[in-house]
Structure 1
Amino acid sequence: MSIFEGFLSTSETLAAFSDHNFVAAMLRFEAALAGAQAAEGLIPEPAARSIVGSCKVELFDVAKIVRDSGRAGSVAIPLVKSLKEAVGLFNAEAVPFVHFGSTSQDVIDSAMALVTREAVALVEADLAKAAQALLAHATQHAATPILARTLMQPASVTSFGLKCAGWAAPLVRSRARLADTARRALKVQLGGAVGTLAQMKGQGAAVRRRMAQELGLGDPGQTWHTQRDEWVALGCELGLMAGSLGKIARDIALMGQYEVGELAEPSEPGRGGSSAMPHKRNPVASMVALAAAGRAPQRVAALLAAMPQEHERALGPWQAELAEWPQLLMSAHGSVRALATALPGLQIDAARMLANIERLRAELPAEAADEWFDPALAAHAATIVHAQVRDLQDQLESTSR
């Protein structure tokens, strides 16, 4: 993570995808594997206890595992080597049962699902906050007149509440789709060398079910080493969300220009300042969301490009996917957190909105001014706004249950 990326994400998502947390997730996989195999009679109970007892991240040199992964071509290889060494210190007889019947992609994909679950939960929580803030503004300003603009030019009068409800709708839909897509995508990976789980002597499916339950992941019923559709679908949903957030940010930035002056992001010490001009208040939340909207399509494109994977194990595409995935999640959560933080305190200047309408009315023939730019037209939107808010609130509550 470079100096130019850190402020575009969040500390929580950076922690979720940190080396330490990812290695800890891999160890959770190994502990669950040993426990499930012992329960199915595939490995001795004492061996499983020794393995589970050694799967504590504080016992491992995470930095060394990461360094060694470059030469090995996989972070799983030095991890398993270190785990065998740790187990061997206490129970040499248990060493042959470490990582038994599994493969590198099993542990890495499952660990990625575990840390992604953490990040997606953060995204969903902040999406709800952002949507709720917009729905509150929509209710309060259901009849507040504002210029609607098409092709960047004044079109007619609408209500600011209707605009807020329009901003909120894709966020509510995105949260529902994310929850559904994550449910299908966040699954344990266990297929052994080529997906047959042959070493587990017919008990592989039972082991996978137990592991899924222990890890809180779904059981896919089969390996998905090179079938990445449901996983990449989750990435696509994150890209869509980033685009929806970017649209809101673009509108806020435009409406916050000095010459327009209808909105402003919250004012607080140290927020949105300038190194040279003390009078400036830069819309930094919009900036973060727009940066994510600009970067997310490239990340999603990389995931899609990595889908044609060779036979039963990819040479290059899977590795490319692994590198892109955390970056997409980091940008996505940075975007939604920025707006979830800014939207509740959005400074709304209804008087300036009205003044912009009146200034335009003064420049138009009376007939056109009354037909298209009468502030009273906003009142017609109020009924629509309240109905939309009720529907969106119901959708939010339904997704939360």
Structure 2
Amino acid sequence: MSLFEGVLSTPEMLSVFSERSLVDAMLRFEAALARSQARLGIIPESAAQSIAGSCKVELFDVAKMVRDGARGGSVAAPLLHGLKEAVGLFNADAMPFVHFGIGDQDLVDTAMALLTREAVALVEADLAQAVQALLRLAERHAETPMLARTSTQPTSVTSFGLVCAAWAAPLARSRGRLAQAAHRGLQVQLGGAGGTLDRMQGQGAALRRQLADALGLRDPGVAWHTQRDEWLAIGCELGLMVGSLGMLGKDLLLLGQHEIGEVAEPAESGRGERLPLAHRSEPRASMVALAAAQRAPQRVAALLAAMPQAHPGALGGWQAELAEWPQLLLSAHGSVRALAGALPGLHVDAARMRSNIDRLRSGLPRGAAAEGFDPALAETAGVLALAQVLALQSPPDLSDDTR
């Protein structure tokens, strides 16, 4: 990770996709797999106990695994080699049952699903905070008059509350769609190299169900090695969310320009003292959101481009997807965290909004000023704003499960 990446993301998301976290997730998979196989009589109970007891990340040299994985082109191989060695120190008879009857893609895809579940939870929490902050602003300023602008030029009078409701709407929809996509796409991967789990004594389906329950993931009923649609739908929804956040960030940036001065991001501790001019403010949240919106489309495009995979574990495509996935979530959480932190303290200058209207009206013919730029038009906008607030306060609906 570069210094620049750290500025645009969050410590929490960097931790989720750290090397140690990935190794820990893979070990959680191997421990749950062994326990589930033993419960079904596929491997001995003593072997499962030895395997699960060795699946502790602190027992492994994570840095060495990373180096070995880079040389060998696989993140799974060095972990499995190290796990077998660790198991053999206590129970040599259990070594053949490590990773028994499954493929490396089962391990890596499920580990990534475990990490993505944590990542989506972080995004969802901040997204909910951003939406609620916007809805509170919409209620508070339902009838606060401000200029409506088209192509950056004044066109009529609206209310700041209606503008806030318009910012909140796509984010609320993203929240619902992201929850639905995660509900469908966070699935256990299990099928072995051929997808049939042929070494599981006819209990492959039962093993997948037990493993999914143990890990808190969905059981898809089949291996989805090259069926990436439901998985990548999560990435596409993240891309849409980042775009909506970027739109909000750009609006805040424009409205906060000194010559407009209608809103301003709250000052951050440790920032501002170095600014030589009192009229300058630093729209950091808008900057992070705009940077993410410029980066995320390329990440989503790379994920989609990787979909045509030549058989499971496809050389190039699957690995490209694995590399792009964390980068998308790093950008997504950086964006939503920045705005979720700024919106509750957003400074709204209602007096400046009114003075901008009055200044424009003073230069217009009386009829035009009365028809299109009457501050009383904010009352109608306020009714619409409050109606949108009410509609957007409903929780996300997960009922459209098609499986």
Normalising by structure 2, we get a TM-score of 0.97
Shift of 1:276: 7.1
Compared CA separation, residues 277 and 373, structure 1 to 2 (3 A):
closer
In the aligned structure 1, how far is the partner of 2:206 from the partner of 2:272? 55
Give 1:2's aligned residue. 2
Shift of 1:250: 0.3
Contact 1:245–1:289 (CA under 8 A) maintained in structure 2 = yes
Contact 1:271–1:284 (CA under 8 A) maintained in structure 2 = no
Task: Tell me the alpha carbon deviations over residues 77-115 of structure 1, each in whole angstroms, 9 at most, x when there is no partner.
Answer: 000000000001111100000000111111100000000
Give 2:57's aligned residue. 57
Compared CA separation, residues 203 and 287, structure 1 to 2 (3 A):
same
In the aligned structure 1, how far is the partner of 2:93 from the partner of 2:395? 55
Please say if 1:90 is aligned against 2:84.
no
Q: 275-284 or 22-31, which moves further after superposition? A: 275-284
Give 1:38's aligned residue. 38
Compared CA separation, residues 200 and 92, structure 1 to 2 (3 A):
same
For the residue of structure 1 that corresponds to 2:222, the secondary structure is coil
For the residue of structure 1 that corresponds to 2:3, the secondary structure is coil
Give 1:323's aligned residue. 323
Give 2:136's aligned residue. 136
Shift of 1:395: 3.6
Shift of 1:278: 7.4
Which residue type is aligned with residue 323 of structure 2? A
In the aligned structure 2, how far is the partner of 1:24 from the partner of 1:191? 21
In the aligned structure 1, how far is the partner of 2:202 from the partner of 2:340? 49
Give 1:262's aligned residue. 262
1:195-214 matches, within 5 Å, as 195-214=195-214
Give 1:176's aligned residue. 176
CA RMSD between the two structures: 1.5
Shift of 1:273: 6.7
In the aligned structure 2, how far is the partner of 1:116 from the partner of 1:230? 13
Gaps of 5+ in 2: none
For the residue of structure 2 that corresponds to 1:311, the secondary structure is coil
For the residue of structure 2 that corresponds to 1:118, the secondary structure is helix
Give 1:312's aligned residue. 312
Contact 1:184–1:230 (CA under 8 A) maintained in structure 2 = yes
In the aligned structure 2, how far is the partner of 1:398 from the partner of 1:140? 30
In the aligned structure 2, how far is the partner of 1:355 from the partner of 1:276? 26
Q: 269-278 or 56-65, which moves further after superposition? A: 269-278
Give 1:296's aligned residue. 296
Give 2:21's aligned residue. 21
Q: 364-373 or 194-203, which moves further after superposition? A: 194-203
Which residue type is aligned with residue 29 of structure 2? F
For the residue of structure 2 that corresponds to 1:358, the secondary structure is helix
Which residue type is aligned with residue 154 of structure 1? P
Shift of 1:72: 1.9
Please say if 1:382 is aligned against 2:382.
yes
Contact 1:128–1:396 (CA under 8 A) maintained in structure 2 = no
Which residue type is aligned with residue 345 of structure 1? G
Normalising by structure 1, we get a TM-score of 0.97
In the aligned structure 1, how far is the partner of 2:62 from the partner of 2:269? 38
How many residue pairs were aligned? 399
Which residue type is aligned with residue 73 of structure 1? G
Task: Tell me the alpha carbon deviations over residues 227-247 of structure 1, each in whole angstroms, 9 at most, x when there is no partner.
Answer: 101111110000000000000
Contact 1:274–1:282 (CA under 8 A) maintained in structure 2 = no
1:88-127 matches, within 5 Å, as 88-127=88-127
For the residue of structure 2 that corresponds to 1:308, the secondary structure is coil
Give 1:188's aligned residue. 188
Compared CA separation, residues 275 and 374, structure 1 to 2 (3 A):
closer
Contact 1:239–1:296 (CA under 8 A) maintained in structure 2 = yes
Contact 2:105–2:312 (CA under 8 A) maintained in structure 1 = no
Shift of 1:313: 3.3
Report sequence identity in percent: 68
In the aligned structure 1, how far is the partner of 2:108 from the partner of 2:278? 49
In the aligned structure 2, how far is the partner of 1:96 from the partner of 1:165? 59
Contact 1:273–1:280 (CA under 8 A) maintained in structure 2 = no
Compared CA separation, residues 75 and 272, structure 1 to 2 (3 A):
farther
Give 1:47's aligned residue. 47
For the residue of structure 2 that corresponds to 1:222, the secondary structure is coil
In the aligned structure 2, how far is the partner of 1:287 from the partner of 1:80? 42
In the aligned structure 2, how far is the partner of 1:322 from the partner of 1:311? 16
Give 1:215's aligned residue. 215
Contact 2:180–2:398 (CA under 8 A) maintained in structure 1 = no
Which residue type is aligned with residue 248 of structure 1? L
Which residue type is aligned with residue 304 of structure 1? L
Contact 1:101–1:200 (CA under 8 A) maintained in structure 2 = yes
Gaps of 5+ in 1: none
Shift of 1:70: 1.3
For the residue of structure 2 that corresponds to 1:193, the secondary structure is coil
Shift of 1:279: 5.9
Please say if 1:353 is aligned against 2:361.
no
For the residue of structure 1 that corresponds to 2:154, the secondary structure is strand
In the aligned structure 1, how far is the partner of 2:275 from the partner of 2:5? 19
Shift of 1:386: 1.2
Task: Tell me the alpha carbon deviations over residues 177-214 of structure 1, each in whole angstroms, 9 at most, x when there is no partner.
Answer: 00000011100111111211112121111111111000
Contact 1:307–1:317 (CA under 8 A) maintained in structure 2 = yes
Contact 1:148–1:158 (CA under 8 A) maintained in structure 2 = yes
For the residue of structure 2 that corresponds to 1:199, the secondary structure is coil
For the residue of structure 1 that corresponds to 2:112, the secondary structure is helix
